[in-house]
Structure 1
Amino acid sequence: METLEAQAEDFAAIVYAEPGALGLIANIVAALMIATENMLDPPFSAAAVMLSGVHLIVVGGLLQIVAGLLSYRRWDHLTATAFLVFGSLWTSMGISRILAAQAAGQDGADVVRQATLPGLVGFMAVAVVLCVCAVTVNFLLPPVLVAILLTLVFEAVGAWFAWGRRVAAAFEIIIVLAGVYAVVVMMLKGVSQRYILPGFGNAPYDPLLMRTAGGPAPKNEKKKVTKYSEPMGMGFLGNVVPATVLAFYHLGFFSDFRPAVAMFVFSAVCQVLASFYSFLRHDFYHAITFIIYAVFWNSRAVLQFLVSSNFPEIMDSRVNFYGQWTLVGLIMMVVFVSATVNRVVFLYNLMFAVMAILSIDHIPVVAHDYTFGVSAAIVAALSTYTGMSTLENSIAEKNVMYIGAEVVHSDKLAAAIGGIFGTAREKTSKSEYDDDDYVDIKIVDTTIFIGSTIALMAHSATEATNNIYPLAWLMVAGVFLHAYAARLAYAAGSLAKAYVSLLLAVYWAIWVAFLLNPNLAVLLRSLSVGMLCLSTVAMVMTPAFSGVWIPFGVLMELCVITQVVTVFDVNPRWMILVTSLLAAIVSLYAASAELINGTLQCVVIPVGLPLIKEKERAENNAEPPCPLFTSRRSSALQEVAQLLDQGSVIGVPTDTVYALAGSCKVPESIKKIYMVKGRPAEKPICLCLSNLDQLAEVNPPFSPLLWNFMRRCYPGGISCVVPKGEWLKNLGLGDSVDLVGTKDNICIRVPDSSVLAYLVSVSGPVALTSANPSGGADSTHHDMVIDSLGEKLDGVVCDGTSNELVASTVVNCMKIDEGVITYFRIGCTPQEVVDAHFEAAKAEVNSQSATLDMNQKLS
């Protein structure tokens, strides 16, 4: 008990309040700095502009990114996304200022302003999305985000007109003032565990009141992971800015791409972190998809940077370059598997694949600029909706914006592919792809194979084109992606694959250095020979991995030998092409197989079993993480009631799914429920009674219609939201009145469960919420409660499988006297049944009223 209470205190002060306060403070300092600069008249000294840029990067960028990373650990989708988006914005603006300080003369400064404007347009689109989503979170964020949006607009105007800078300064002051107030609110909330000042507790538009978007819902939804916020919205929004910049560039708005590279910090931050947090959530599909997006955008950015830098002969034999076809092929694989996600994502990826095809360098420059520019503009627009719908659905925890059902069910697609490869029989067997303990390793494998496939194919084209053109893919896919895979492997606990990934990153770094300057060959000889020795060790390790690693390891050993003979200047003609192409083919097969298998969560394309298998250890019978009580013995339930009276949080069965219960006589137990569940303080907890007579004894001022309706609904799988009042204190809630429900209303639950009814009758009213991490899948067996929350609970009442698969239906009865009820959630009880109860209650009340009027007239 003492340990849990200590955790509850730490949760409020450290985990909940401080990340938001840190991010807001970073915004305040950055906005104040830019406002001060905008109120002064240029020109400024180069040193002052450069110093301003450094401060924006460190304070507005890095600190806000740190706040975003911390916010991802507290199930706050919008705040985490907003901090990372605007952290990358301030970083990009800081880099642009440094470039402007180094630009020669006014013409150079104009080039920088012109190249950064498209990035600001992209950030404006993302800011609009965040503004719309913020309306469903609280009252304070929308005006702050609107001020940031208008600041971006007038910052862009101020690049040419002085009055634009003055207007931007005014909105930046608004950001500062609103940010200071928000910091005070959040710090006070962190200390007091409740909102003392207004602005954060409620939202202008409650997402619980939003109806689910029309159209069929996906049938193969996966279990939610609530340890980290959902990064999918940020991953899709990460495509907006790079697509906008490339669209403006290829359509001829500006010609020097070098200053625009700063805006690709947005893609690097948003999509790499979205991939990383998807990895931490064991989300195979999004972890791979977002890193493929990042590779595409950043490799195109590096390529255009090299072209604008006028590297000698870079455009020679450009139309012969075929190195990006494997990247296009992998994007088409993403389209293929996204058919099992939803329709919006499938159509979006389809358009992304069309853009990737139109970006290939076989197309002549004039036509290429048009095809790529137009398609990039379309992708930017589609990214806005896809990101907004994904983010808003994550915030509302239901599909309030249309995404559609999957195009094809994953089982059907797995059966079709399994029939081709003869693996259909394996579809129903358990595999490492549907096990969280192994899926992380599969993400690492797929990332390594993707990086190798893209880099090898691009490298094989050097002898067909020139040494400079493939560098973009070697830098991004070869060096960065393998370094990223090493980080994932370390997080997954595989030091062997971290070692292999780092070796591959070093291998490609040697090639990058050599291709940039062949005169470095002498200096690279010792490094390449050492690389050959280390890669031999890696090749020996591959039999312990999946079977496809063995041919890949052997062919990569040949590629390393090719590198050695190249730096020693004894390279036979076409050796690079042959070795790289052979390794690329094996790697492409492995990447495609792992991508399809991982997304479908079963082995449909064989990748082979390890030749050397780790010896399985017999599992010891571990002690349960918390005390367990059987629901069949009254003595056990009396012990549970005593624990409730002491302030414990217990997992209990209901008439629907399992729930967490805390006694309303002990306010600390309700606070503890929030900590155990990881539930945001804005989301209310309902009040559970043993029967409706318990409520009738305190005589709440409910109308006859509400009483009639509630008597039809209770006991059962329907919860009614009713107005709060002084009558709650008569139920013995005491100080718990402010901890259940919202400020104005409370949800009443009377379950049709003899176990829970007995506990409530003995211990008194309890606060009740579903027994799952916030946003996670409902627990339909006591084992699920033990597995997901057992270490944080004081006990679990074991009652086997639940009666229902989903929670109760929650009805909004606040306007029932006006003849209207609405729904917060459609659960186990269908809406038609509740509507029938309501119509019957209205009919009976109206009939009784008519009879009373008639009797009065007759008398």
Structure 2
Amino acid sequence: MVNTVGWCQDYVMKLLLQPDKSIYDKPASLLQDSSTLHLCKHLDQNFSRAHTGIAPVGVENILAGVHLILIGGICQLVSGLLSFRKYDHLSGTAFIGYAALWSSFGATRIYFGALDETPTTEFMPHLMINNMSSSTNVTNSTCLNATSGACHIFLSIEESAIAGLVPYILLSFLLAFCSATVNYIMPFVFGAITATLIFEAVAVVASSWALVVSGVLELLILLFAIYGSAALLVKGLTQRLVLKGFGTPLFNVLLLGTANSASAQSIGQEKKKNTKYAEPMALGFFCDTVAPFIFAFYSFGYMKSFGLGVTWVSVNSVAQLFSSYYAHLRQDCYHTTKFGLHATYWLIKAWEEFVLSVLIVEENTVVSGREAMVGDWFFVVAALVLCVGSLNMDVLELIHNMLFVLLTVSTISQIPLQGYYIFFGVACSLFTAASLYGTFSRLINTIAEKSLIPVGPQPISTEQLQKAFKCSRSTLGDQGVVPASDALFYLSNGVAALSALHARALSTNPSFLNLTVPWVLISGAIIQAYVSRLQVTGGGRFGSVISSIYVAVWATWTWFRFAGDLLQFSTVASYGFTAGAIAFLVINAFVMLIAAYRNLVLLFLTTIMEVVLVCFLLSTLPRLPYQLEMAMLALLSIICIYGALASLVNCIFSQTLLPMGPPLIKKQMKQETSSEPPCPVANSRLTSGLLKIAGLLEEGGVCGIPTDTVYALAASCNNPQAIEKIYNIKDRPAEKPICICISSVEQLVAAKPPFSPLLWEFMRNVYPGGISCIVSKGDWLLRLGVGPAYDRVGTRDSIMIRVPDHTVTCHLCDITGPLAITSANPSGEADSTHHSMVINRLGNKIQGVLCDGNSNEVVASTVVNCLKIDEGTITIVREGCVPAVKVQQIFDRVKSTMV
């Protein structure tokens, strides 16, 4: 728990050290848990602008920037990550989005302070900027005769701040509106932040009166934050809402509209009802709003340099990578690929514009550089791949992807330079508008869990799309599940390979050194390092071996071909690089062996990479035939495009719709699967299989069965001795009770338990689903059908009830009556998420397994103690697939409606 008194003392100290000319000091957030959310959000707030003369202005700006990055950036980022883990869509999006804002402003403050501390003449080389969107030229004499403030304006500090502020103002307003559907504290906090950002932006171009208004608003934010922090702190200590403000919305989200008549299932968009992580789509759209707006601001000539714009876009791209990461944790390969590709695009374009606007001076060099860049074409094709992947989603997603295609087309090198920035700016403006609407719709619809804000129907049905790709339809069981990060792996290698083609022109145009570095380094090394991290968590057989090695390959390539010459290091006949190239050749030979276990596409990619590494070796001697290298790099890009498309489509549909080719070396696991299983198995999709397991249970057997969460061990309540077997099979401690599973709430109604109206309403809201409720025992259990097992299930006074959201399990309960169930794993070990895990772990001890493939979740149900529900409280005994915050939200909503 954060020491709030200590932070308040820090806040008072900062009020005494405010610079007089700082217009960029922003509210920041430091939070370690949700109890101090609103108090810590504005510890670095500026509502006093009086200069005290204690320290130079430059030092104050640098210190303020460091505090903004540490408190408002890093610490709030941690809070956002925890919010996503707690299934909190709104807070996760807001905290990570604001973390990007405060970090960007922190960097701006540091740069602003550095300019104040450094003599103007030291910046003269960097002021020789030829901006392609403006004909303004500033000479050395101009800057020498200008004041420090004039040079600041020229370096676009003010313009960069406004370019970043405007989209955040719009997004803050959306966050304030959306938070009104959750509680009535956050809307005032977010609303005050919105107003503060507005007046801070006004202060950039107008007089300082706007700072006074901003200071008053920041004081209001602090007051709301103190109250909100106290309310959450008391709630955390007492497990009840003593202070008002949380749990009660300003207005019901359902007032925004009626849910779409077409359900998610009817349009082929069935999503998991229960998951450990919040949906990251709103955050991805959030970041897609900020970056293109800054580019549009620059393209239309309102920013004379992209020196600070690159900082804002880079920080925003890192935030977008987090949305891709959480999509990966949700096993959502489409959004993992989409947001990862968008982040790559924004990073590369930002650093390219930085090179063009700051480092390159000669106009003719810039023009020829624009014409020769070919990496943009890969982004055009990659954007089309995303369009194909979104054909069975909704109209908004398809339109957003089509606008991204337009955006990538607007940056191809064949567009004349005179119309380049206008076209690019218009495309960025349209993309910003679509992303802003996407942020709003995804936030509201995820909060309401209904389609309240229209996003359009499904353009093409899933069945039609499957038929269109049905060249070798089969399940992925033979080749294994396609990891969600595979498509992004192919895309990052493809961009790096196609961008490396610029090496051919280095001998005639040295300016390519500047242009090509971000293209190869960002996609091939930085983004691929992120892909490597995804593949570590993906659980593949070889993990991140291939991607990790290719990170080193592209990083070395960049240093040898581009950065080395740029820094005036001699690389010709470098024996160090020659030895490294030989090492890469040997390592890649082992990578080819790994690829032979996967599929032919990956094997082709690694084989072509071996030839590329041979070219790299020859270039260190130097004996390189450039035509061979260019052909191999182009071929590598083509393979990557197909690999990305096939991986994305196959992962979305969990079927081999586009062939990747069989593994050249078969895994030696067929003998084990073909051998006789240690216990009888049955197919859950066959009625005969269901009846077979039901018969085994009625005979007193213990069987592994699927549920809506993970696999469970089941025993019939008509056979108490079978329940005792479960304890022996699992080595389960005798003091741990076993719950019962029934098929529907109507079974409970028929048993007539003495439940209160509040408990009945709560159970109807959580059943069926991944929540287990602990209620009081009574004679009603006998009427339910528990009968002989009354003393073997639950405790002496209470019983835990499960109503799974799983058709097979419910049908089984209808046949056998209530079942005693517990997770199908040895006590203390991880849950079983596939029927093969149950067979391998417990097959010798149980009497049968009902096989249903992969489980819907990776953790068991959430257990809620409802024994004191009539007193207005529930307790989360175990947090499982349904986050505790969501359970509490359901209970608060039910309680408010009952009142």
Aligned pairs for 1:141-290 (under 5 A) are: 141-160=186-205, 161-207=207-253, 212-214=258-260, 216-217=262-263, 218-224=267-273, 226-290=275-339
Per the TM alignment, residue 335 of structure 1 is displaced from its structure 2 partner at its CA by 0.8
> Distance in 1 between the 2:229 and 2:297 partners?
38
CA shift digits 1:443-471 (9 cap, x unpaired): 33322211111111111144357343233
Q: Which of 617, 620, 637 does residue 564 from structure 1 map onto? A: 617
Contact kept? 2:739, 2:802, Cα under 8 Å: no
Q: Is 2:350 the partner of 1:309?
A: no
Per the TM alignment, residue 540 of structure 1 is displaced from its structure 2 partner at its CA by 2.9
SS in 2 for 1:80: helix
Q: Which of 471, 484, 490 does residue 449 from structure 1 map onto? A: 490
> Distance in 1 between the 2:38 and 2:627 partners?
54
Amino acid at match of 1:157: V
Higher mean Cα deviation, 565-574 or 551-560? 565-574
Amino acid at match of 2:516: P
SS in 2 for 1:629: strand
Could you tell me which residue of structure 1 aligns to residue 865 of structure 2? none
Contact kept? 1:267, 1:298, Cα under 8 Å: no
Aligned pairs for 1:421-500 (under 5 A) are: 422-423=471-472, 426-427=473-474, 430=477, 438-440=481-483, 443-463=484-504, 466-494=512-540, 496-500=542-546
Q: Is 2:469 the partner of 1:417?
A: yes
Q: Which of 155, 161, 172 does residue 116 from structure 1 map onto? A: 161
Per the TM alignment, residue 265 of structure 1 is displaced from its structure 2 partner at its CA by 3.9
Per the TM alignment, residue 62 of structure 1 is displaced from its structure 2 partner at its CA by 0.3
Aligned pairs for 1:91-102 (under 5 A) are: 91-102=103-114
CA shift digits 1:111-162 (9 cap, x unpaired): 2121221111111122122112211211211111111111211111122321
What are the ranges of 5 or more consecutive residues in structure 2 without an aligned counterpart? 1-28, 121-147, 680-702, 705-710, 727-731, 768-773, 814-818, 832-847, 857-899
> Distance in 1 between the 2:386 and 2:799 partners?
48
Contact kept? 1:21, 1:187, Cα under 8 Å: no
SS in 2 for 1:89: helix
**C-alpha spacing 1:800/1:509, structure 2 compared with 1 (3 Å):** closer
Q: Which of 376, 380, 392 does residue 340 from structure 1 map onto? A: 392
Per the TM alignment, residue 561 of structure 1 is displaced from its structure 2 partner at its CA by 2.2
> Distance in 1 between the 2:298 and 2:35 partners?
33
Contact kept? 2:72, 2:99, Cα under 8 Å: yes
Contact kept? 1:61, 1:90, Cα under 8 Å: yes
Aligned pairs for 1:355-374 (under 5 A) are: 355-374=407-426
Per the TM alignment, residue 370 of structure 1 is displaced from its structure 2 partner at its CA by 1.1
> Distance in 1 between the 2:444 and 2:478 partners?
33
> Distance in 1 between the 2:825 and 2:318 partners?
32
TM-score (structure 2 length as normaliser): 0.69
> Distance in 1 between the 2:392 and 2:765 partners?
34
Amino acid at match of 1:324: D
SS in 2 for 1:31: coil
Per the TM alignment, residue 192 of structure 1 is displaced from its structure 2 partner at its CA by 2.1
Contact kept? 1:26, 1:63, Cα under 8 Å: no
**C-alpha spacing 1:770/1:791, structure 2 compared with 1 (3 Å):** farther
Contact kept? 1:450, 1:591, Cα under 8 Å: yes
SS in 1 for 2:544: helix
**C-alpha spacing 1:626/1:427, structure 2 compared with 1 (3 Å):** closer
**C-alpha spacing 1:592/1:230, structure 2 compared with 1 (3 Å):** same
Amino acid at match of 2:283: M
CA shift digits 1:654-684 (9 cap, x unpaired): 33699xxxxxxxxxxxxxxxxxxxxxxxxxx
Contact kept? 1:22, 1:64, Cα under 8 Å: no
**C-alpha spacing 1:647/1:428, structure 2 compared with 1 (3 Å):** closer
**C-alpha spacing 1:771/1:89, structure 2 compared with 1 (3 Å):** farther
SS in 2 for 1:470: helix
Q: Is 2:117 the partner of 1:71?
A: no
Could you tell me which residue of structure 1 aligns to residue 12 of structure 2? none
Per the TM alignment, residue 56 of structure 1 is displaced from its structure 2 partner at its CA by 0.6
Per the TM alignment, residue 187 of structure 1 is displaced from its structure 2 partner at its CA by 2.5
Contact kept? 1:323, 1:470, Cα under 8 Å: no
SS in 1 for 2:739: strand
> Distance in 2 between the 1:304 and 1:380 partners?
19
CA shift digits 1:712-769 (9 cap, x unpaired): xx99x98899xxxxxxxxxx999x9xxxxxxxxxxxxx99x95489999999998877
Q: Is 2:445 the partner of 1:399?
A: no
Could you tell me which residue of structure 2 aligns to residue 7 of structure 1? none
* Number of residue pairs matched by the alignment: 700
SS in 1 for 2:630: helix
Amino acid at match of 2:428: A
**C-alpha spacing 1:768/1:392, structure 2 compared with 1 (3 Å):** farther
CA shift digits 1:72-93 (9 cap, x unpaired): 2111111111111111111111
Per the TM alignment, residue 800 of structure 1 is displaced from its structure 2 partner at its CA by 10
**C-alpha spacing 1:694/1:606, structure 2 compared with 1 (3 Å):** closer
Could you tell me which residue of structure 1 aligns to residue 45 of structure 2? 34
TM-score (structure 1 length as normaliser): 0.72
Per the TM alignment, residue 633 of structure 1 is displaced from its structure 2 partner at its CA by 5.5
Q: Which of 643, 652, 656 does residue 741 from structure 2 map onto? A: 652
Contact kept? 1:548, 1:590, Cα under 8 Å: yes
Amino acid at match of 1:289: K
> Distance in 2 between the 1:693 and 1:321 partners?
73
Could you tell me which residue of structure 2 aligns to residue 60 of structure 1? 72
Per the TM alignment, residue 549 of structure 1 is displaced from its structure 2 partner at its CA by 1.6
Q: Is 2:580 the partner of 1:530?
A: yes
Per the TM alignment, residue 501 of structure 1 is displaced from its structure 2 partner at its CA by 1.5
**C-alpha spacing 1:782/1:316, structure 2 compared with 1 (3 Å):** farther
CA shift digits 1:251-291 (9 cap, x unpaired): 11112011112211443233211111111111111111110
SS in 1 for 2:42: helix
**C-alpha spacing 1:380/1:41, structure 2 compared with 1 (3 Å):** farther
SS in 2 for 1:324: helix
Amino acid at match of 2:70: V
> Distance in 2 between the 1:188 and 1:24 partners?
8
Q: Is 2:663 the partner of 1:610?
A: yes
**C-alpha spacing 1:417/1:165, structure 2 compared with 1 (3 Å):** same
Contact kept? 1:461, 1:577, Cα under 8 Å: no
Could you tell me which residue of structure 1 aligns to residue 696 of structure 2? none
> Distance in 2 between the 1:521 and 1:612 partners?
43
Could you tell me which residue of structure 1 aligns to residue 429 of structure 2? 377
Could you tell me which residue of structure 2 aligns to residue 555 of structure 1? 608
Per the TM alignment, residue 494 of structure 1 is displaced from its structure 2 partner at its CA by 4.6
Could you tell me which residue of structure 1 aligns to residue 563 of structure 2? 516
> Distance in 1 between the 2:232 and 2:826 partners?
30
Which of the two has greater helix per residue?
Answer: 1
Per the TM alignment, residue 439 of structure 1 is displaced from its structure 2 partner at its CA by 3.7
Per the TM alignment, residue 304 of structure 1 is displaced from its structure 2 partner at its CA by 0.5
Q: Is 2:646 the partner of 1:598?
A: no
> Distance in 1 between the 2:463 and 2:287 partners?
30
> Distance in 1 between the 2:517 and 2:650 partners?
31
Per the TM alignment, residue 391 of structure 1 is displaced from its structure 2 partner at its CA by 2.0
CA shift digits 1:195-230 (9 cap, x unpaired): 222111222234467764335342341334511111
Amino acid at match of 2:563: L
Amino acid at match of 2:587: V
> Distance in 1 between the 2:807 and 2:428 partners?
37
Contact kept? 1:39, 1:166, Cα under 8 Å: no
> Distance in 2 between the 1:718 and 1:509 partners?
56
Per the TM alignment, residue 567 of structure 1 is displaced from its structure 2 partner at its CA by 3.4
Could you tell me which residue of structure 2 aligns to residue 578 of structure 1? 631
> Distance in 1 between the 2:797 and 2:850 partners?
24
SS in 1 for 2:571: helix
Aligned pairs for 1:317-356 (under 5 A) are: 317-356=369-408
* Percent identity between the two aligned chains: 23
CA shift digits 1:137-193 (9 cap, x unpaired): 112111111111112111111223212222222222222222222222222222222
> Distance in 2 between the 1:39 and 1:778 partners?
70
